[in-house]
A = this chain, B = another copy of it.
């Protein structure tokens, strides 16, 4: 029997419309590429997004078209999100840190009809314009009087002039909530990039869940600074979450150095932020060097890669900023879990609390997770056993765009599909998940698994070590054994033997790396993660002293 409630689709346009209607004069503040600060309101943003949507429709855009962006976090990018998604087309955010060849490949794979870009990326656009035949129009996201000229870019138009062709009479269409609204490619370390396509439904449900008190805890009492880029899984949903709750939104533009972030946090009364550990290291360093404190900043979500425990402690103890450790991926919209304490933890000693907060945390309602062995058998939630992490939920991908890579799901006995995250994790009896490795990085030594992340975290906690990576290398008896590769801090000295001795008593003895290699640098990918594939290539011919 069908119930009798209104049948209203969940649409991203409703998010901005809600903010414009109910939080109309709450602010969106952006640091622009030009360096100045731009301020306007949700009502202004909604009006411009509708005009922009109308301009796209007038220029021939239809439901389902893909429209690309190469842009920093700012108000025009926000307008693109809503104009494109709202009209029923798909906003395809591209990571500008990829190689231009890769960007061109992605644009062609997506079949983008328009590409809007910040001036920083003009050289990229000039390099790829002739290689992207599906793009009819290139849109320079800048003021009309700063519009660049380029004979390498056919049909280059100005964002403001383009937008001005649209009418404010435009009304958002009532779409099927399973219509695509966003597309983001993973910069896979192997094979071609693959696209995850979000729906209106998945985006709105993700925003509801992410705003909850035990997740981001976002509210109209917050001033929120998304440091994580809008080209990186939709800035973890913040451009959708903030209008949902009416929070003030502060965009940092391209300036992500410690000084610029600190100044923006203080001048805009930022209460809350989100980003990857690398960015926070810069902010912490700047604040320490200048003996600064935060006036309003009280919590931040850290994800993308595991947050070093030392960084969590520094934020918390030195600066009074609560760190919320989170886990997710492009294929999960991205938020899957966050680590927050519960009522029952109140009486735990501080150290035990800290251990919980260092985990990647609890599944948000909507997401279910489990860990399985290589045969797909579910493993116990004891906080020790680690296995391949599988997830499912209404904001988890079921297949990649254009069927790339076939059906990625693993099916359980009930025929339900689970997405294999490629992560290896433990889950404890209270449901807290902790990533111990990537499936392809975990070291399988004599049938037992060794977590490279644990070994790396311990290595970087040594005062002489700046960066560390652990890879498995072939061993005749154990199949694989761990090799520790490190970059020393400038001026610091440490020996192989001292480093290996440093592990004593901190891990099971058989986890201790068989050797240490000192290098000048460790290869990083476009999102700042260690490229272990490269590292494994580099040490392909390496022989362990124990072999």
Which residues of A pack against B, CB within 8 Å? 1-8, 10, 14-15, 18, 21-26, 63-64, 90, 171, 176, 178-181, 196-202, 205, 208-209, 211-214, 217-223, 244-248, 269, 271, 333, 340-344, 362-363, 365, 368, 392-401, 414, 417, 419, 429-431
B8/A393 in contact, CB under 8 A: yes
Contact of A399 among B4, B205, B219, B340 (CB under 8 A): B4
Contacts of A398 in B (CB 8 A): 4-7
With the chains together, A223 CA to B394 CA distance in Å?
A: 28
Contacts of A340 in B (CB 8 A): 219-221
Contacts of A201 in B (CB 8 A): 3, 5
Chain A contact residues: helix, strand, loop or mixed: loop
Contact of A5 among B202, B248, B342 (CB under 8 A): B202
A217/B213 in contact, CB under 8 A: yes
B213/A179 in contact, CB under 8 A: no
With the chains together, A245 CA to B153 CA distance in Å?
A: 51
Contacts of A1 in B (CB 8 A): 63-64, 90, 179-180
With the chains together, A213 CA to B218 CA distance in Å?
A: 7
B4/A401 in contact, CB under 8 A: yes
**What's the nearest-Cβ distance from chain B to residue A42, in Å?**
11
Contact of A171 among B221, B400, B414 (CB under 8 A): B414
Contacts of A244 in B (CB 8 A): 365
Contacts of A218 in B (CB 8 A): 213
A220/B397 in contact, CB under 8 A: no
Contacts of A414 in B (CB 8 A): 171
A179/B392 in contact, CB under 8 A: no
Seed contacts A5-B202, A5-B396; 11 additional CB < 8 Å A-B pairs? A5-B333, A5-B398, A6-B417, A7-B178, A18-B363, A22-B431, A211-B212, A212-B212, A221-B342, A222-B343, A271-B343
**What's the nearest-Cβ distance from chain B to residue A217, in Å?**
5
Contacts of A396 in B (CB 8 A): 5-6
Contacts of A10 in B (CB 8 A): 205, 394
Residue with the greatest number of chain B CB neighbours at <10 A, chosen from A2, A3, A90, A223:
A3
**What's the nearest-Cβ distance from chain B to residue A265, in Å?**
14
Q: Which 3 A-B pairs have the closest CB atoms?
A: A3-B199, A1-B64, A3-B180
With the chains together, A84 CA to B419 CA distance in Å?
A: 31
Residue with the greatest number of chain B CB neighbours at <10 A, chosen from A2, A247, A401:
A2
Contacts of A7 in B (CB 8 A): 178, 394, 398
Contacts of A397 in B (CB 8 A): 4-6
Query: Can you list 17 contacts pairing A with B, beta carbon distance less than 8 Å?
Result: A1-B64, A1-B90, A3-B198, A4-B199, A4-B400, A5-B201, A5-B394, A6-B395, A6-B417, A7-B394, A22-B362, A26-B343, A213-B218, A214-B245, A220-B342, A247-B343, A269-B343
A2/B214 in contact, CB under 8 A: no
Contacts of A22 in B (CB 8 A): 362-363, 431
Residue of B nearest to A199 (CB): B3
With the chains together, A225 CA to B349 CA distance in Å?
A: 27
B342/A26 in contact, CB under 8 A: yes
Contacts of A21 in B (CB 8 A): 368, 431
Contacts of A246 in B (CB 8 A): 214, 342, 362
B3/A179 in contact, CB under 8 A: yes
Contacts of A63 in B (CB 8 A): 1
Contact of A2 among B199, B248, B362, B395 (CB under 8 A): B199
**What's the nearest-Cβ distance from chain B to residue A247, in Å?**
8
**What's the nearest-Cβ distance from chain B to residue A43, in Å?**
11
B180/A343 in contact, CB under 8 A: no
